[in-house]
Amino acid sequence: VILYLAEDSAMENIVTEKKAEESHRQDSADLLVFILLLTLTILTIWLFKHRRFRFLHETGLAMIYGLLVGVVLRYAIHVPSDMNNVTLSCNVNASPATLLVNVSGKFYEYTLKGEISANDVDDIQDNEMLRKVTFDPEVFFNILLPPIIFHAGYSLKQRHFFRNLGSILAYAFVGTVVSCFIIGLFMYGCVMLMKQIGHMGGDFFFTDCLFFGAIVSATDPVTVLAIFNELQVDADLYALLFGESVLNDAVAVVLSSSIVAYQPEGDNTHTFEAMAMLKSFGIFLGVFSGSFALGVATGVVTALISFNFTKLRDFPLLETALFFLMSWSTFLLAEACGFTGVVAVLFCGMTQAHYTFNNLSPESQDRTKQLFELLNFLAENFIFSYMGLTLFTFHNHVFNPIFIVGAFLAVFLGRAANIYPLSFLLNLGRRNKISSNFQHMMMFAGLRGAMTFALSIRDTATYARQMMFSTTLLVVFFTVWICGGGTTQMLSCQKIRVGVDTDQETSVSIGPDGVERRSTKHESAWFFRIWYNFDHNYLKPILTHSGPPLNATLPACCGPLARCLTSPQAYENEEQLKDSDSDLILNDGDITLSYGDVTVSTDAAGAHTSGTPVGGVAVNSDEALDRELAFGDHELVIRGTRLVLPMDDSEPPLPLDSHRHRHKNETMS
Amino acid sequence: VILYLAEDSAMENIVTEKKAEESHRQDSADLLVFILLLTLTILTIWLFKHRRFRFLHETGLAMIYGLLVGVVLRYAIHVPSDMNNVTLSCNVNASPATLLVNVSGKFYEYTLKGEISANDVDDIQDNEMLRKVTFDPEVFFNILLPPIIFHAGYSLKQRHFFRNLGSILAYAFVGTVVSCFIIGLFMYGCVMLMKQIGHMGGDFFFTDCLFFGAIVSATDPVTVLAIFNELQVDADLYALLFGESVLNDAVAVVLSSSIVAYQPEGDNTHTFEAMAMLKSFGIFLGVFSGSFALGVATGVVTALISFNFTKLRDFPLLETALFFLMSWSTFLLAEACGFTGVVAVLFCGMTQAHYTFNNLSPESQDRTKQLFELLNFLAENFIFSYMGLTLFTFHNHVFNPIFIVGAFLAVFLGRAANIYPLSFLLNLGRRNKISSNFQHMMMFAGLRGAMTFALSIRDTATYARQMMFSTTLLVVFFTVWICGGGTTQMLSCQKIRVGVDTDQETSVSIGPDGVERRSTKHESAWFFRIWYNFDHNYLKPILTHSGPPLNATLPACCGPLARCLTSPQAYENEEQLKDSDSDLILNDGDITLSYGDVTVSTDAAGAHTSGTPVGGVAVNSDEALDRELAFGDHELVIRGTRLVLPMDDSEPPLPLDSHRHRHKNETMS
């Protein structure tokens, strides 16, 4: 579409340049506001951490600062607008992605930014300033969420995650779908009520209710998990909560897009139709499995590259860059194929942690972890401070008391319908039962966060979506501040033990109300055991330098294939690790640290490992299984040294720091 | 401006959504192309490094891959366009930054992307695909250049930089301006010639020639410096080249924007006018000093924060995030104030390296260095591969043989007019002369790179700018491939010594053609000495934990002020470092490693430092000056352990890696 427009003066060109420059300066200033907000948040977090103040997490704090800045922007600053005062008429019958405008012989290119509801048009003209601090909602999905989700997958505590895989999958898939429908139905009741008493100012269909159910079903207990991590709460509870929240984000994204895709044929666009329903279900399955496959595939390719280009280990910068680019390309590939990038990135992160991580040099292991930790930190705090800001700067809030009260009730009911019935069913099959205080804790930890926000801000064009967005903001604020802030109280109220050494626990006494005593050794489910054997015997040897050589695990007929796929390291590995430069010892020496606590010296740990053949030929006994899982569980290295006991007043020593201290002490002695 | 447009069908909405989705998928695919290009580059670089192949640097390689992909995109892929087939007429008399289009009752917002020359309009319609892989030129300035420039400032080798400060400033300021005018005048001659013989297809004024001179005066010897670093070429030559290239980027940016700002009053817009000239000169001074002040100010603020929030050191993540955000905010602040962000970021990086770096925990020192190293690596290779790509995908290339030949001659002349006369003048004042083979090497190392490209792609609207852009691309290609690839040959041809231990050299023998022997001890210039004393006695104690306590350096009357500004560490510092947990010992222990070579054990270094009071009370002797400079020169820690001798066939041990190896050996023993 080209618009040929009327001729004007030659000064237009300069004026346009001035305007573009002005706009760029304004953009810089707006971004600067956020950067300063984050800086302020960091300094305050530091103060909190320093004073061991646990009632407010950094994300909650970022929201408060965001709120304050939002108030200032909304009420204190008024920028008179002088540029939007021309109204013209013209004929265009489409809205293409690119528009060419001909002004006095010069062509200007315009790109489509999005649709604006008709009642906003005046606002836009009045308040350019507020609109400027409003980011394109796609920024959240395409820039800020991916590092958060990748980091979640990359830092998953693998041992306890895989031990509880069945329960986690049940909570994440069955639980999220149940929660979505419970919330959807309940909200539909509310909407009916509102229509009856005339409190509804626009359309609100059942699919909208379901969509609302899907977006508020994505839990994000980052606040709770930070406290769990600090207080060393039971690792199984941690794994259940973390695993569920990570996976249900993925489920909620795909579920919400399937609900949006529900479009019955013909005119009756908001009635039930079996074919459309089936199609939505097909979309759900297709998108989810496609994203899953893509994520895993990229992870495996990265593992293979880092496995075959072993000398890449000498160049940590190249290795880290490669790792970063491959992980990012997962996202882009998934988006380009029409799958969901965020979901692909999650599974890519998990695959990278499980395979590629073992092939990286120790330097790159640190670098990648630190890089994604930083990106996650910045993105998360940015999103939460933006959430605070947008409560005041967003112009189309629809706060409806009935809908809000209904939403809070629905969220509570949905969470309850997810946790309690599922836990009951799961306990029938689990040897290591999920005790009732754990269930209450999981119920309580159903915070809503970044994903819910990103999903709800993505489309705020209609009345229904605007009401959802406003309500979602309140749900997030409430859960992050109240539930997040009350975690320590809830933990002590539920008598959940803190300060548990994740690696040495064999039984848990739950206090007067619980009677279960359990052993972590023998709880593996049958399908986990099958997967584990396959992974240990075939995948790990092909993709990493750990694990047994393939010819020890493959049948004899596959001998030549096994020899060609097995790395020389695996053979050295079998020869009981005589070579002190072998990669395995390095890994092993690193990992063994996680068994002991902080006071164990590296010398002792080193002596311990050099005598113990780990990861040799395939053994299927429970001890080997347990040891192997600990071996792959790099995250524990961090936790092992971060140990902060609740009553401890000294500063928490941080991982590399403690290495350094030890190193320095050796140097000084 | 609002366009009220004709009504259309209800399906438009869905069509628009589809188009937006399509466009997003296309964007993802395009970005994916670049990511895969970078991945390929990394794998090939690894191969080169592994095989010690020095004729092609990673940036040259990235360009080649970019070229190949450009050829494929241009000639092999043809995407038929079906969306740009509507032509409409309308009246608009301005080109605002935001345009609202009313399509069938719905408002769509469009943002101004830029002006397009009239003869491109058909191209745009024909080749949406090629236009898609063309990034907004401002991306280079606002996203890719800042990390590169910051990293340059942050990794400046301070000791040798400050020792050669006078010469570097002369080359960067006087040299760049001389080069700009020489090239400008020479090109004006070429342009006159072209006009005579009718080879000129559009306007080309003298200011355009000067602008061309400014943009091709920004040298970027990244290829050469990488080889210098690997071969351990003389540190003074390295400092001269690196310092000059870093600063002349800043000079070139400001110079080019001042030339653009040259606008004589009235109609005679391209004649000489003293007032406009003075105004341009004022803009140059104002923008440069403003950016400088802002950059230094942010650096100092960060240093003060990290100085006062000492306990922040226990949280490397927060510290790193703060450092990153503060450095980024420099850029935004400068842009928001109308200064040049890139220049501000450069001086911010230098200040951070000089002050803030000393206050960071060792963990954060590693993290920040690694983070900016990674960002620099990715941004640099992205720019160079984009350069290759754009040779084929850019649609308005104007390759004029006379202009191109003229430009190559002019670039050569400009560089010669910069280096040789200035070196002669500088040698009159320098005790440590710049020998003729060093001058030839500096002449040869005048590569053009990222900055030249970013400046030339910023505005390609007119015929003159298009011709400049095409010519600049060829200059960059030629210098990076030919001069970059010939560095080792040039080094051996000029008989410049390689494998110099930067810290123990006291004299340099230059071979048969050179007769100078020099000592690095006594070459400091007078103004450097004044600055050093001020910095050492007043700034370092206020901004870092190193340096003497203030009350030892301030006059007695300032006693209370000194006590309130001095940190407790500085006093401990004075008490001859009895406390083994003191921050200073840690720093000192780290730094001392740089004195020895790789085989020096940490124990020996530790024992050495604990007995040596460094940074105690102010001493003005040359020995203390020398020691203090080495103390602040963190970069040397890296170089000290990376030592790769040219004939050495073993893999280069990398900094943390070598620590680890040592650590591991201790563990295993």
Residue-wise pLDDT for A221-260, tens only, equals 787 888 888 888 888 888 899 999 889 999 999 999 998 8
What stretches of A430-495 show up as alpha helix (H) in DSSP? 436-444, 450-457, 463-478, 484-485, 487-493
pLDDT of A96:
60
Higher pLDDT, B391 or B431: B391
Separation of alpha carbons B244 and B161, rounded Å? 10
Q: Is pLDDT larger for residue B23 or for residue B250?
A: B250
The tens digit of pLDDT for each residue in B88-136 reads 445 555 556 566 666 656 666 666 665 665 555 555 544 556 666 677 7
Q: How far is B99 from chain A (nearest CA, A)?
A: 8
Residue A383, amino acid? I
**Lowest-pLDDT range, A11-25, A391-405, A478-492, B60-74?**
A11-25
pLDDT exceeds 70 at position B521: no
Q: How far is residue B367's CA from residue A366's CA, in Å, rounded to a whole number?
A: 9
pLDDT in the model for residue B309: 73
Say how far apart CA B134 and CA B31 lie, in whole Å: 11
Give me the total of CB pairs closer than 8 Å, taking one residue from chain A and one from chain B: 410
Report chain B residues whose CB lies below 8 A from the CB of A151.
none
Which pLDDT score, from 0 to 100, does residue A499 have?
76
pLDDT at B425: 92
Q: What is the pLDDT of residue A261?
A: 85
- Range from A485-494, A538-547, B418-427 carrying the lowest mean pLDDT: A538-547
With cut-offs at 50, 70 and 90, classify the pLDDT of residue B430. Answer: confident
Using CA atoms, how far apart are residues A94 and B20, in angstroms rounded to an integer? 13
Q: How does pLDDT run across A63-108, given as a tens digit for each residue?
A: 999 999 888 888 876 655 444 434 444 555 555 656 666 665 666 6
Q: Is the pLDDT of residue B563 over 90?
A: no
Question: Between the CA of residue A399 and those of A25, A206, A392, A615, B212, what are the distances in Å?
Answer: 34, 19, 12, 59, 58
At B293, is the pLDDT very low, low, confident or very high (cuts 50, 70, 90)? Answer: very high
Residue A216 has pLDDT above 80, yes or no: yes
Cα–Cα distance between B290 and B276 in angstroms, integer?
A: 20
pLDDT bin (cut points 50, 70, 90) of residue B606 is very low
pLDDT at A55: 74
Cα distances (angstroms) measured from residue B578 to each of A559, A580, B237, B612: 64, 38, 40, 11
A563 touching chain B per CB within 8 A = no
Please report, for chain B, how many H helices and E strands are present, in that order.
Answer: 33, 4
Which pLDDT band holds residue B46 (cuts at 50, 70, 90)?
confident
pLDDT of residue B178: 94
CA distances from B152 to A498, B347, B591 (A): 47, 10, 21
Between A627 and B536, the more confident residue is B536
**B657-to-A237, A365, B626, B641 alpha-carbon distances in Å:** 36, 12, 29, 10
pLDDT reported for residue A669: 35
> Could you give the CA distance from residue B25 to residue A340 in angstroms, rounded to a whole number?
11
Query: pLDDT per residue over B591-605, tens digit each?
Result: 333 333 333 333 333
Query: A368-377, A573-582, B47-56, B558-567: lowest mean pLDDT where?
Result: A573-582
Q: Give the separation between CA B205 and CA B268, rounded to whole angstroms.
A: 12
pLDDT for B489 equals 86
Q: Is the pLDDT of residue A352 over 80?
A: yes
> What's the confidence (pLDDT) of residue B22?
80
Strands of A87-89's sheet in order across: A87-89, B2-4, B98-103, B106-116, A106-116, A98-103, A2-4, B87-89
Q: What is the pLDDT of residue B129?
A: 60
Tell me, what's the pLDDT at A326? 92
Phi, psi of B434 (to 5 degrees): -90, 110
**Do the chains contact at A46 and B20, CB–CB below 8 Å?**
no
On whether any CB of chain B is under 8 Å from the CB of A530, the answer is no
pLDDT of residue B80: 52
Of residues A552 and B138, the one with the higher pLDDT is B138
DSSP state for residue B127 in the 8-state scheme:
-
Residue-level pLDDT at A636: 33
Q: Which of B57, B90, B141 to mutate to test the interface with A (most CBs of A within 10 A)?
A: B90
Measure B615 CA to nearest chain A CA, in Å: 19
Cβ contacts (< 8 Å) between A96 and chain B: which residues? 19, 83-84, 86
Rounded Cα–Cα distance for residues B113 and A372 (Å) = 32
Q: Which is more confident, A31 or A419?
A: A419
Q: Chain A contact for B348, CB < 8 A?
A: no
pLDDT for B96 equals: 60
Q: What is the pTM of this model?
A: 0.78
Q: Is the pLDDT of residue A578 over 50?
A: no
Please tell me the distance in Å from B324's CA to the nearest CA on chain A. 10
pLDDT of residue A559: 61
pLDDT for residue B372 is more than 60: yes
Residues of B in contact with A606 (CB under 8 A): 664, 667-668
Q: Is the CB of residue A328 less than 8 Å from the CB of residue B31?
A: no
Average pLDDT over residues B63-84: 75
The residues in B 103-142 lying below 8 A from A, measured between CB atoms, are 103-118, 120-121, 124, 128, 138
Mean pLDDT of chain A: 73
Q: Which of the given ranges, A505-514, A584-593, B382-391, B599-608, has the highest pLDDT on average?
A: B382-391
pLDDT at B280 over 80: yes
pLDDT at A614: 38
Residues B565-592 have a mean pLDDT of 39
Report the C-alpha gap between B444 and B484 in whole angstroms: 9
d(CA A259, CA A458): 14
Q: Higher confidence at residue B459 or residue B265?
A: B459
Q: In which element (H, E) is residue A116 found?
A: strand A106-116
- Residue A593 pLDDT > 90, yes or no? no
A38 touches chain B (CB under 8 A): yes
- B329 contact residues in A (CB cutoff 8 A): 32, 35-36, 39
Provide the 10 A C-beta neighbour count for residue B293: 14
| pLDDT higher at B622 or B580 | B622
Confidence of residue B418 (pLDDT cuts 50, 70, 90): very high
Average pLDDT value for residue range B67-82: 74
Q: What is the pLDDT of residues A263-288, one digit of tens each?
A: 766 555 566 778 888 888 999 999 99
pLDDT-above-70 percentage for chain A: 64
Taking only the tens place, the pLDDT of each residue in B226-254 is 888 888 888 888 889 999 988 989 999 99
Question: How far is CA B88 from each of CA A86, A300, B15, B19, B250, rounded to the nearest angstrom?
Answer: 19, 51, 19, 20, 45
The answer, yes or no, to whether residue A498 has pLDDT greater than 70, is yes
Q: Please tell me if residue A596 touches chain B, with a CB cutoff of 8 Å.
A: no
Instruction: Name the DSSP letter for residue B116.
Output: E
Mean pLDDT of A358-384: 91
Tracing tokens 């401006």 back to the chain, one arrives at B1
Average pLDDT score, chain B? 73
pLDDT, average across residues B186-215: 89
Torsion angles phi and psi, residue A301, rounded to 5: -60, -45
Of the candidate ranges A327-331, A533-537, B491-495, B498-502, the one whose mean pLDDT is the lowest: B498-502
Between B3, B8, B366, which is nearest A93 by CB?
A: B8
pLDDT at A158: 73
DSSP string, A486-521: THHHHHHHTT---S--TTT-------SS------ST
Q: Higher confidence at residue A596 or residue A105?
A: A105
Contact yes or no for B110 and A110 at CB 8 A: yes
Asked if pLDDT for residue B65 goes beyond 60, the answer is yes
Q: Could you say which of A35, A320, A377 has the minimum Cβ distance to residue B317?
A: A377
Q: Work out the average pLDDT over B429-433.
A: 81
Q: What is the pLDDT of residue A536?
A: 77
Separation of alpha carbons A617 and A520, rounded Å: 24
The Cα B371–Cα B455 span in angstroms is 26
